[in-house]
Amino acid sequence: MLEEIIDSKTDSGILSFFLSMPERSFSVLEVSRRLHTPYLKTAHSLAKLASVGLLAVFSKKSKKYYYINSHYKLLPEIKNFWAKNSQKGKDELFSAIKRLGDVRAAFLSGIFTGYPNLPVDVLLVGKINLKKLSDFLKAAEKMMGQEINYSVMTVDEFLQRRNTFDKFIKDVFDYRHLVVTDELSKKK
């Protein structure tokens, strides 16, 4: 069955890429650059994998973003096979976020998780170096082809807002989100 879907080296590389990364969304440009494959070939393979249901796709401002479709019926078998034969990749975005200063917690939502209408894409908690943050945002926006909505909070502000069920914080945690780092989960 998988041979019918994956019929090129590009398809195989893209599937391996998505299986090795945290389950976040990626733009065509980011996948193309990370895998060093031509943009059009990457776009074609992503569209094909989405057409069979293995990847889910959404658009924001005419840009397409892809992520693993967790409801794909063969995904558990594919992941199991892949886990036995490959190793987990490292998401450069996660690494870059952790280097922005004293990051005590960081969460991805919005465009990175398939919910482009949420108010924030990156939520950072801690003492963030604003120069590094500016450089990070420029690079991330270039890679995603979109403006990245972000929020920076102090630890005290985040804990207070989380503990009072603040709507902004609730919007991040009520929808699919990715935890980049969280040293505060046990603090109430």
- Identify the pLDDT of residue 85: 63
- Identify the pLDDT of residue 79: 79
- CATH code of domain 2-89: 1.10.10.10
- Identify the pLDDT of residue 143: 86
Q: How far from 88 is each of 22, 31, 91, 166, 167, CA to CA, in Å? A: 9, 16, 10, 35, 35
The DSSP annotation for 134-167 comes to HHHHHHHHHHHTSPPPEEEE-HHHHHHHHHTT-H
Q: Are strands 122-128 and 150-153 parallel, antiparallel or unpaired?
A: parallel
pTM value is 0.76
- Identify the pLDDT of residue 1: 52
Question: Domain-by-domain residue ranges, the chain?
Answer: 2-89, 93-182
- Identify the pLDDT of residue 187: 55
Contact 124, 97 (CB under 8 A): yes
List, for the chain, all residue ranges whose pLDDT scores fall below the cut of 70. 1-5, 7, 83-90, 186-188
